[in-house]
Amino acid sequence: MPKTPTPHNAALEGDFAPVVLMPGDPLRAKYIAETYLDDARQVTGVRGMLGFTGSYQGKPVSVMGHGMGMPSIGIYSYELYHNYGVETIIRVGSAGGYADDLELRDVVAAQGACTDSNYANQFGLPGTFAPIADFELLSAAVAAAKRQGVKIRVGNVLSSDVFYDGGANERAWKPMGVLATEMEAAALYMNAAAAGKRALCLLTISDIPSRGLGLPAEERQTSFNQMLEVALETALSC
Ligand SMILES: O=P(O)(O)O[C@H]1O[C@H](CO)[C@@H](O)[C@H]1O
Ligand SMILES: O=c1cc[nH]c(=O)[nH]1
C-alpha cells in the first residue's frame, strides 16, 4: 500500500475501516461519530477535515468529511481508496431538490450522477463516462430504507461545479429527469470506478431553490438522521 500519512490525511495505515461514510461537512462527520459510533476515535484532522473510526453494531466503520466540490472529494476519496485500503465510500450529503414531488429532508439515492465538471478528462476516454452507483450498495440502501420506513427516491442527480447558478442548472437538467443537485457524487463515482472500488451517494434535500426553501446550517450538520441510519445499515452489508 502507498505511504501514509498523506499531505491531507494524518491517519496511519490501518486507521480507517474498509467502509467510510463521507459528508461534505467535517462537523457532520463529528456528529455522526458522536451519535452513532461506539468507541469512536479521531484519526485525522488535517485542514480541519475530521475523520473518525469506531464501530456500528459491532462492525468497524469510519466517517470523514470530504469538503465541497469535486477537486476536494477527489483528493480525499483517492487517498482513502489508494493509500488506506478503503473498499467502500458512502457519501451522505445535502442537495437541492429539482423534482416537483421532493420536499425538504426527503432522501435521494444517486443512481447516476450527471456533471458539468471536466473531472472525467483525466481518464482520457474516447467518449462520455457515465458515473453510476455500485448496484449492490444501492440495492442494500433501498432495502434498508424499506425496513426503516424511510421513503427514498432513486435516480439521476447533477454534480455541479456551481452552487450559485441563478437557477440555470435546474432549467437545463430538470427536463431530463434529474432529481436534485449537489457537488461531488460524479467525482466519487469516477474515482471508485478507476480504483475498482465501490461508492454510493445518499442525499438529504436541504434546499428547494425554485421555492426559496432552505434549511439553516445547524440543521445541515445534525438533522439528517434518516439518511444516516440508512447509510449505516447499508455499511453493515459491506
Ligand atoms: O452537505 P454536503 O455533503 O457538503 O453537500 C452539498 O453541500 C455543499 C454545498 O452547500 C456541497 O458540498 C454539496 O454537494
Ligand atoms: O449543491 C447543493 C447542495 C445543497 N443545496 C443546493 O441547492 N445545492
Q: Would residue 6 count as lying in a domain?
A: no
Q: Which residue has the cell 454534480?
A: 159
Answer yes or no: is 226 within a domain: yes
Q: What's the gap in Å between 124 CA and the centre of ligand 1? A: 27
- Which residue range is the domain that position 63 belongs to? 19-236
Domain count, the chain: 1
- Indicate if 207 belongs to the active site: yes
Span 20-56, pLDDT tens digits: 999 999 999 999 999 999 999 999 999 999 999 999 9
Rounded to a whole number, what is the distance in angstroms from the first to the last CA of the chain? 21
pLDDT one-digit tens code per residue, 81-114: 999 999 999 999 999 999 999 999 999 999 999 9
160: phi then psi, degrees, rounded to nearest 5? -110, 150
Residue 11 inside a domain? The answer is no
Q: What is the ipTM of this complex?
A: 0.98
How do residues 204-233 score in pLDDT, each as one tens digit? Answer: 999 999 999 999 998 887 779 999 999 999
The reply to whether 1 falls in a domain is no
44: domain CATH number is 3.40.50.1580
User: Which amino acids bring their CB within 6 angstroms of ligand 2?
Assistant: 94-96, 163, 181-183, 206-207, 209
Specify the residue with its C-alpha closest to ligand 2, atom 1: 182
Distance of CA 143 to the CA centre of its chain: 18
